[in-house]
Structure 1
Amino acid sequence: MLASLVARGTVGTVRQVRAQYLQDWLADPQAPLTWRMDKAKAGSGALGDIGAHAVDLAQFITGDVVTDVSGVMETFVKERPMLGAGQGLSGSVGEGTGPVTVDDYASFSGRFASGALGVFEATRFATGHKNGLRIEVAGDKGAVLFDLEDLNALQVYDATAPAGQQGFTRILVTEPEHPYVDAWWPAGHMLGYEHGFVHQAKDLVEALAAGVQPRPSFEDGYQVQRVLDAVERSAGAGSAWQATAA
């Protein structure tokens, strides 16, 4: 719904995008070393794991692409206890420690093809945040805001309203008129995280049946990877600006 609001001019000309994906499941330095902290297996850390979602969401909502970035990356805990029996964070701690070879935190400024500017942040050390994928798109006529930790609502600001009536308005997106809701519960009944995956499968199957390109496409995914690669290159070059097409 945010994409349709932006597309029909609710915010006017997009000027700024702020996108974050904040989690805290690695804030404990005694959490065991898993495959997600091994660059050879995971590719990258917070940047690729959750930062990719922030980039994808920003590009989808704006209908624009990030062309240049300036980024920083940091590994806060460079050694972690080895994983013993079990899997992931629920597994036991084994003997000794091993090196963390991925980023714990990544942030970057980005320039969109339209000239809009964006600020992105991805971390699994954001104490108090469990799954905070948050995006705000601001333009010359208003702004829209969404937070996955409040996934049945969005915030809309109308800058064209009279001065005494301006302010973010919380909209509950559980009416049948909103995308997908008519396939689920009565109006006002909440949808959960898992429903998004059902919608994803539905869109994919219907697109294939209709012979049209599914969204997101492999091309969309490739564009996200180009942004992530440019962020890594920038962080390794003292935050120098890097083109995503390089």
Structure 2
Amino acid sequence: MSPPPSRLEAHIRRTLELRYPRHVVTNDTLGLDRLRALLDTIAIQGNSRKLRNIMIGWAPFLGEEACDRLFDQCMNARRKWSSVELGTLFDLTEHERSAIGAWNIRPAGYTDDDMKRLRRETKARSSCRSRRRKAKEAHAKSKAAADDISLTERQKSIYMQTADAWRSTTEIGAALASWPEYKPLARDALRKAVLRACNELIGQGWLSGEVRSGSRRQTILFVRRTR
């Protein structure tokens, strides 16, 4: 049983398939050099049978003598190609690299600083996707909890504005002020509606509450979720 391909071998193969969709390289120096990169990587693993099969499949135009010569060269040299050499050899762009997932090959012409910048951008995009996913999951969780039949529509809308961290009823009221069902309410009426609903949710065990002193010596109710 043949050993599994290395990650570098898989990435070189994807890049080779990108350049030669019919799985046959061109009969010229560039085509054979690109094939040689794959063959050298296979030779490092010592898999002679696989090496010969790849050679015959990708370069059927080679005669038996040429195949034997190339086979011996690869097995003797066992050259390890660098990511920079491979990127230059295949003239690989960053867009192509991302599309086929050839992460072990550096895009042609990219410096160390370019790669650091690229990693920062990739990390930033990944973090952004993670934040959006978590926000979406939190929203779905809130909606599922708020859809409980024991809550009124007003209680549901207010519960969805709460979180695991403390939040004041003033903040909740400000967030709901633009909602159609709350828009007709005057400021004081909105405050009382939010306060009444929060107290109801506290009584039902959906929220926990804490009264704190405000900047003008008034008391403000802070709430957070308990479930």
Shared fold by TM > 0.5? no
Larger % of helix: which?
2
TM-score tier by shorter-chain length is under 0.3
The alignment's TM-score, normalised by the length of structure 2, stands at: 0.20
More strand by share: 1
User: Which structure is richer in relative contact order (CA contacts within 8 A, separation 6 or more)?
Assistant: 1
Task: Give me the TM-score of the superposition, normalised by structure 1.
Answer: 0.19
